[in-house]
Amino acid sequence: MTGTLDPRAQERVDTLLATMDRAAKLNQLQVTFRMTPEENADLARAGIGALFWPMGAAAANAVQRVAVEESPHGIPLLIGLDVIHGHRTIFPVPLAQACSFDPSVTEADGRISAAEATSNGVNWAYSPMVDVSRDPRWGRICEGFGEDALLGSIFGAAKVRGFQGASLSEPTSLAACAKHYVGYGAAEGGRDYNGVDMSERRLRDVYLRPFKGVVEAGTGSVMASFNTIAGRPVHANRHLLTEILKEEWGFDGVIVGDADGVANLVPHGVARDHAEARQLAFGAGLDVEMGVELDLDELPDDLETMPDERLDDAVRRVLTLKVALGLFDNPYVDESAEILDPPGDHLDAAQDLATRCGVLLANDGTLPLAGPAKVILTGPYATSTDHLGAWVQHTGVPARSLAETLAESAPDLDLTVLPATSFLGDEPVDAAAVRAAAAGCDVAVVAVGEPSDLTGEASSRADLHLPGDQERLIHVLADAGIPVVVVLVTGRPLVMAPWLERVNAVLLAWHLGTRGAEAIADLLTGRANPAGRLAVSIPRATGQVPIHYDHENTGRPATTGGQITPRTFDIGLEGPANIAEHFTSKYRDLDLGPEFAFGDGLSYSTFAHAATALRAEAVTVDELASGRTVQVSTRVTNTSERDGDEVLLVFVHDLVASLAQPVRRLAAFRRVHVPAGESVEAELEFGFDQLAFWVDDGAGFRVEPGDFEVLVGPRPDDLTRLQLTIKEDLT
Q: Active-site residue numbers? A: 258
CB of 82 to ligand BGC, least distance (A): 5
Q: Are strands 413-418 and 30-32 parallel, antiparallel or unpaired?
A: unpaired
CB of 225 to ligand BGC, least distance (A): 8
Q: Is 126 in the site for ligand BGC (CB under 6 A)?
A: yes
Q: Which CA distances in Å does 724 have to 150, 619, 690, 721?
A: 20, 8, 13, 10
Q: Residue 483 in contact with residue 463, Cβ under 8 Å? A: no
| Closest CB to ligand BGC among residues 33, 249 | 33
Q: Is 533 in the site for ligand BGC (CB under 6 A)?
A: no
| Closest CB to ligand BGC among residues 33, 332 | 33
CB of 180 to ligand BGC, least distance (A): 6
Q: Is 479 in the site for ligand BGC (CB under 6 A)?
A: no
Query: Measured between alpha carbons, how far is 42 from 560 in angstroms, rounded to an integer?
Result: 67
Identify each DSSP E strand in 390-533 by its residue range: 413-418, 443-449, 484-489, 505-508
| Closest CB to ligand BGC among residues 266, 373 | 266
CB of 416 to ligand BGC, least distance (A): 42
| Closest CB to ligand BGC among residues 123, 690 | 123
Give the bridge partners for 673, in sequence order: 645
CB of 537 to ligand BGC, least distance (A): 24
| Closest CB to ligand BGC among residues 99, 259 | 259
Length of the chain: 731
Query: Measured between alpha carbons, how far is 48 from 32 in angstroms, rounded to an integer?
Result: 9
Query: Measured between alpha carbons, how far is 565 from 562 in angstroms, rounded to an integer?
Result: 9
Query: Measured between alpha carbons, how far is 433 from 533 in angstroms, rounded to an integer?
Result: 36
Contacts 24+ apart (CB under 8 A), 191-195: 191/137, 191/138, 191/460, 192/138, 192/139, 192/140, 192/457, 192/458, 192/459, 192/460, 193/226, 193/227, 193/458, 194/227, 195/227, 195/228, 195/231
Dihedral angle over CA of 194, 199, 201, 202, nearest 10: -30
List the interface residues with ligand BGC, window 155-194 (CB under 6 A). Answer: 179
CB of 93 to ligand BGC, least distance (A): 14
Options 457, 479, 643, 685; binder of ligand BGC; rule CB under 6 A? 457
List the interface residues with ligand BGC, window 249-268 (CB under 6 A). Answer: 258-259
CB of 475 to ligand BGC, least distance (A): 38
Q: Is 287 in the site for ligand BGC (CB under 6 A)?
A: no
Q: Residue 335: helix, strand or coil by DSSP?
A: helix
Q: Is the dihedral of CA 295, 298, 300, 303 positive or negative?
A: negative
Number of residues that bind ligand BGC (CB under 6 A): 6
Closest CA to 13 of 291, 265, 323, 303: 323
Q: Is 25 in the site for ligand BGC (CB under 6 A)?
A: no
Q: Is 518 in the site for ligand BGC (CB under 6 A)?
A: no
Q: Is 205 in the site for ligand BGC (CB under 6 A)?
A: no
| Closest CB to ligand BGC among residues 24, 182 | 182
Q: Residue 634: helix, strand or coil by DSSP?
A: strand
| Closest CB to ligand BGC among residues 126, 155 | 126
Q: Is 82 in the site for ligand BGC (CB under 6 A)?
A: yes
Residues in touch with ligand BGC (CB under 6 A): 82, 126, 179, 258-259, 457
